[in-house]
Amino acid sequence: MSLLEVRDLHVWFELPNGTELHAVQGVSFDLDHGERLGLVGESGCGKTTTILALMGLFPPSVSVAGEVIVNGENILGKGESLIRDYRWKELAMVFQGAMNALNPLMTVGRQIVEPMELHGIASGAAARKRAGELLEMVGIAASGADRYPHEFSGGMRQRASIAMGLACQPKILLADEPTTALDVMVQAQILELLVGLSNELGLALILVTHDLPVVAQVCERAAVMYAGKIIENGTTEDLYHRPRHPYTRLLFATTPDLYDDDDVISIPGVPPRLDRQIVGCPFQPRCDSAFERCSSEQPALKSLDVGHSAACHLNDVPVSVTAKPESSPRNGQALDAVDGSDDGS
């Protein structure tokens, strides 16, 4: 049995105008002990909502369906009151903007001690001692516990956030764009820290990011999300060398590589709006390999190899059309007009 099983998760946001936005549309995945999973996609694809859903962290105007199974129990099943006991104890989180994620009026130490006392891990002097140890584990002197968040640099705040995440020895750490606002060197420091902690403590990690190369270097497995759905799920190696969905292949081709002179391309158009019904494959209008079936029938996520699944009709066609990224069909120049002319609404 996996450590974490997500089964057919749906999230709807109620919009002010009375309609609904179907932000997460039936997401399922598993996570094993000590495994590092990347959740990748463009902004608005539902990746942040998905991991907030794992902890039940919704604003009031949300409805949710599906199961999030931790230790064999569906923690979503009984709503806020049950899920509260799991928070930070089983799953902890590192947020995107570390500045805003820490209370400006509380010392860093107190914020680390707080969940320990709440969940009965440690209290008083023992908890404070452990907070100091955790800070040292992430590379901050224990005396940093007495300081306020605004006295820390961005990188140190993110380290403190990670220390706070480890306070209750969770089995799973969710990291939402943990390095987005940081410099390359600090980003490397934080990623190294996360990988090191995951190896040492056997911590399972879900890394949410739009940065494919980061996932390729940090995670063994990744799920690519598009328009609220996982469209491909597999090892990072499979995703790069044997992509089975055109979006994955194109997404890799949009990021330049230091030592690879391949043309970088842009994907024309914009993702579909999630407050409307989508007919056919949601990626079809932007896809370079779409055919008739794609505009009428929505492809389901199908298992193709061991640990590799994708949602694309091309995989039903005998000859595999999905190729390596070097045969990118259009160069950037030609795409300008297409990207530009799409009006996004």
Per CB under 8 A, which region of 29-37, 110-118, 123-131, 288-296 contacts another protein? 110-118
Nearer to another protein by Cβ, of 34 and 58: the residue is 58
The encoded tokens of residue 2 equal: 């996996």
Site string for another protein, 20-39 (x = CB under 8 A): -xxx-xx-------------
Asked whether position 105 contacts another protein by CB under 8 A, the answer is: yes
Q: Measured from the CB of residue 34, what is the shortest distance to another protein in angstroms?
A: 18
Q: Is 169 left (phi over 0), alpha (psi -120 to 50) or beta?
A: left
Hey, which residues between 305 and 324 contact another protein (CB under 8 A)? none
Burial of 71 (0-12, 13-18, 19+ CB in 10 A): exposed
Hey, which residues between 189 and 228 contact another protein (CB under 8 A)? 189, 192, 210-214, 216-218
The encoded tokens of residue 332 equal: 């950037």
Q: Measured from the CB of residue 26, what is the shortest distance to another protein in angstroms?
A: 6
Q: Measured from the CB of residue 333, what is the shortest distance to another protein in angstroms?
A: 5
State the Cα–Cα distance between residues 262 and 345, nearest whole angstrom: 32
Per CB under 8 A, which region of 128-136, 288-296, 298-306, 312-320 contacts another protein? 298-306
State the Cα–Cα distance between residues 124 and 117, nearest whole angstrom: 8
Q: Using DSSP, how many helices (H) and how many strands (E) does the chain show?
A: 12, 12
Q: If binding means CB under 8 A, how many residues of this protein chain bind another protein?
A: 115
Q: Which of 39, 70, 93, 287 binds another protein (CB under 8 A)?
A: 93
Nearer to another protein by Cβ, of 201 and 338: the residue is 338
Q: Which residue has the tokens 């099983």?
A: 5
Q: Measured from the CB of residue 319, what is the shortest distance to another protein in angstroms?
A: 25
The SS3 assignment for 189 reads helix
Hey, which residues between 43 and 72 contact another protein (CB under 8 A)? 43-44, 48-49, 52, 55-66
Report which residue type is found at 319.
V
Q: Which of 109, 144, 155, 234 binds another protein (CB under 8 A)?
A: 155
Q: Measured from the CB of residue 231, what is the shortest distance to another protein in angstroms?
A: 13
User: What ranges in the chain are assigned the alpha helix state H?
Assistant: 47-54, 80-86, 98-101, 108-118, 124-137, 154-165, 184-201, 212-218, 236-241, 246-254, 292-296, 332-341
Q: Measured from the CB of residue 112, what is the shortest distance to another protein in angstroms?
A: 10
Q: Measured from the CB of residue 129, what is the shortest distance to another protein in angstroms?
A: 19
Q: Measured from the CB of residue 167, what is the shortest distance to another protein in angstroms?
A: 8
Please name the residues in contact with 15: beta carbons below 8 A apart, sequence gap of 6 or more. Answer: 21, 275
Asked whether position 296 contacts another protein by CB under 8 A, the answer is: no
Per CB under 8 A, which region of 128-136, 177-185, 199-207, 312-320 contacts another protein? 177-185
Please name the residues in contact with 140: beta carbons below 8 A apart, sequence gap of 6 or more. Answer: 156, 159, 160, 163
How many Cα neighbours within 13 Å face the side chain of 342? 13
Q: Which of 225, 252, 310, 314 binds another protein (CB under 8 A)?
A: 252
The encoded tokens of residue 280 equal: 């056919």
Give yes or no for a contact between 225 and 50, defined as CB atoms under 8 angstroms apart. Answer: yes
Q: Which of 37, 39, 87, 132 binds another protein (CB under 8 A)?
A: 87
State the DSSP code for 182. S
